[in-house]
A and B are shown apart, each in its own frame.
Chain A
Amino acid sequence: MAPPPHRRPGFSRKAQYGLFVTYVAAIAGTVVAALLLSISVVDPTGFSALRTFGAEITAPVARVFSAVRLSAQNATRVASAYIDAASKNVALEKKAEAERSKMIEAHALRIENARLRGLLKLTEESGQKIAIGRLISSTASSTRRVATLSVGRNYGVERAQPVRGPAGLIGRVIESGPTTARILLVTDAENLVPVMRISDGLPAFSAGLGDGRVLIKPLNLGESPFKVGDVIVTSGNGGLYRPNIPFARVVRKTSDGALAIPFADPGNTPYAIVEQQYQSEARTAQQKAAPDGKAKEVKE
């Protein structure tokens, strides 16, 4: 369709000026937007209030849809559970029998571990739950991997707290609003997580690739020591994530590390637990004792 002839408004001065003003406004608006972008590049948390506002006003709808989605998933799960129920029951009973002894063993180990820790006078505030919520939306159209959590400051959720699901680590809180919080998922390229291989404690770092996978890089140089199927857990270094949160499974070995898929799938996790920072006191003390007093944690 041809555009309407608004480009040549005739001899009317008023129309000519009006047209001119729209172009001036367009250019000026573009420049303003570029300035806003540069401000948010310099200070990424600068406009967090606006984003929080956006998340808060859409949260009710997102909550409803999230609940619908969850109940639909549950319904299909319940329906599919009826198929082969008897044989499944037998198999599960066998499995439970086999794992009972392992459970008892693990329980004994936990007690022994606590005793040994007591001897070493190691103190830590691990695994303290702050709040339990649901992931209600994610930035599915952006290259950033950020999800919105259904609880916020009303439940004591603050920035830089780890978030995990029943299956494994999900991410950490980067912005908290009155009733919602934004979570940087572990698959975001920005999110670095100190991890280790569960079998031998080989220390490594994980960085998101933005496509649902994470890149595991070992701290020591040389050929990649990983094998496909290796299980990666958090190591607790840095004092943010507590150790031994299930993290990812290696799916491919690369020349200097490995590609892994996180256990926690944000789209399929029934709930998300916001935890206390592991060793938060030590962290704050360390940051206060920084030589120049400025070495604070970079916000987001």
Chain B
Amino acid sequence: MKIPVTAIRLPTRPGREYESRFDREQSVLKMLAIPIASVVLSSMVTTLPIFTAEPLLPPFGLLMFLSWRLMRPGLLPVWSGVPFGLIDDLFSGQPFGSAGLLWSLAILTIEVIDSRVVWRDYRQDWLIAALLIPAVLLGGLWSAGLAHAAPEPGLLVPQMIVSVLLYPLVVRVCARLDSWRLAT
């Protein structure tokens, strides 16, 4: 029987699952650049025209930084809190060095926790973030208060709540970025 022309399958690009995966390497550039760029860009969110009467915008740079650290232990080096924090200071309006110090203390705290609580699940990570985020925000208030007149700490409560509740979302974004990062 003659096959009609329309029924002939044109040779299309084969699906990924049939491609050979031997000798395919992950891009080193992507592996390095994605975590760094995501944290820095999250720090830059404050430069968008968002105006709030009180500090309400969650510190996205910190959330992204903690997500990478908690989701992928060993990816960010122990000292990375300092450079990431100093970059965040450029955009956050805090005194320069404030986030550099606080983020570094945060990552060192996680390092200590890592040696105590080795097997953790996602909820424990969230708990750790939920303790560290308010601590860093209060530390930011303290460091701003050293140089300038500062408002009361009670002002930070809404921002703390929003930030802690947003952490799971940021972890999911981070996980998507991670699978993109490691894709061949």
Contacts and interface: CB of A to CB of B under 8 A. Distances in A.
Are A and B a genuine interacting pair, yes or no?
yes
Interface of A: 1-4, 6-7, 22-23, 25-30, 32-41, 44, 46-47, 50-51, 53-55, 58-59, 61-62, 65-66, 69, 135-144, 146-148, 187-190, 207-213, 265-268, 300
Contacts of A268: 51
A143 B55 contact: yes
A144 B96 CA distance: 13
B147 A41 contact: yes
Interface in B31-54: 44-54
Contacts of A44: 95, 147-148
B49 A211 contact: no
Interface of B: 44-60, 71, 73-74, 77-79, 81-83, 85-86, 90-98, 100-101, 104-105, 107-108, 111, 114-115, 118-120, 140-141, 143-144, 146-152, 155-156, 159
Contact of A1 (B107, B120, B151): B120
A137 B155 contact: no
Given A26-B108, A51-B90, A36 B97 contact: yes
A211 to B, nearest CB: 4
Contact of A36 (B52, B74, B100): B100
A142 B74 contact: no
11 contacts: A22-B77, A26-B77, A26-B81, A26-B107, A30-B101, A33-B101, A40-B147, A54-B90, A135-B49, A142-B55, A148-B47
Most chain A beta-carbon neighbours within 10 Å: one of B49, B77, B78, B90: B49
Contact of A23 (B78, B144, B147): B78
B148 A190 contact: yes
A26 B94 contact: no
Nearest to A53: B90
Given A1-B71, A54-B90, A143-B144, A33 B46 contact: no
B55 A210 contact: yes
Contacts of A1: 71, 73, 120
Contacts of A29: 79, 81-83, 100, 104
A35 B93 CA distance: 18
Contacts of B49: 62, 65-66, 69, 135-138
A65 B44 CA distance: 13
B96 A51 contact: yes
Nearest to A24: B79
